[in-house]
Amino acid sequence: MSIASVTKLLPKPARPEGASAKFGWAEVEGLFGHGLPSDYKAFIEEYGAGCLGGFVWILSPFAEELGAQLGRQSLARLEHLALLGSDSRFQMETSDPVVAPLLAKQAERRAALAAYPPRGQKWIAWAVLGDGGALYWLGVGAPDRWKVVYLGPPGEDGICPMPVELGGSTSAVLAALLSGKSQLPGAPEGFPGAPLGYVPVSKKKPPKWKAPAPVPVNKAMIQVVKLKKHRR
C-alpha cells in the first residue's frame, strides 16, 4: 500500500520536523546495513517525526529529539529482551507447589521473548506508544515486504507479552488506525480522535522508555493463588 492511503486521511503539518537532514536515506540505510520500507520513507519526507492521536509517536532517523530517532528505541528494547533470557534475577527455583507453576510459565515467556525475533529476521522499532509499547518491523526479505509487529509494555513482572503480528505494511497499518478499522491494545478511548492531526515532535515529545527492574514473581498473584487454595 502506498503512502497515499495515509495522506488522504491525515493532514500534513505546516512544518515537518525530522523530515530531512544534510545526509540522506542512502547514508541512513548504510548505517543500518540494509534498506528501509519505501512507504515509511515517503511518510517521513511528508510528515517528519511526530505524534498521532496523543498515543503513537513515529520515529525518524533525522529527528533532533533523541527519543524520536529511529534506531535508539530499538537498541534499548532489544537489550531488555535479551536480558530476560540471561539475567539471574529472573531465574529462581522453588519447590513451593503454588509458586513453581508460576515460575515455570514465566520461564517459558522469558525464553520465547529472548529468542525473538527468529534468526535472520530484522527487528526495528519505528513507532513508540504512550503505554510503553512499540510498533516494529519484522524484517523478512525486501523492506517493502516487511510486516508490522506490536510489542506491548512490560508487565508487573518486568516481562513483555509476546509480540503480535499486525500484518501489512507501515502505511497499511497507519491507514487502518486512522480510519478506525484497527485499534491498538492500550490505546486511549476514542483514539485517534477527531479531527485527525499530526503534532511535530518538538511540541509533543515521546515518552522516555526505561527497562523495568526484574521481579522474579508477581507476589500479589501468589497471594491470590494461595488464598484461593486455602478457601478450598
Separation between Cα atoms, residue 138 and residue 2, nearest integer Å: 19
Q: How many helices (H) and strands (E) does the chain have?
A: 7, 7
pLDDT of 5-29, one tens digit each? 999 999 999 888 888 776 789 999 9
Q: What are phi and psi of 128, to 5 degrees?
A: -115, 155
Separation between Cα atoms, residue 131 and residue 206, nearest integer Å: 11
Does the reported pTM lie above 0.75? yes
pLDDT of 88-115, one tens digit each? 444 545 556 665 666 666 677 666 666 6
Q: Are 68 and 18 in contact (CB under 8 A)?
A: yes
Concatenate the DSSP letters of all residues of 41-105 into one string. Answer: HHHHHHHBSEEETTTEEE-BTT-SSGGGBTTHHHHHHHHHHHHHHH-GGG------TTHHHHHHH
Predicted pLDDT of residue 76: 66
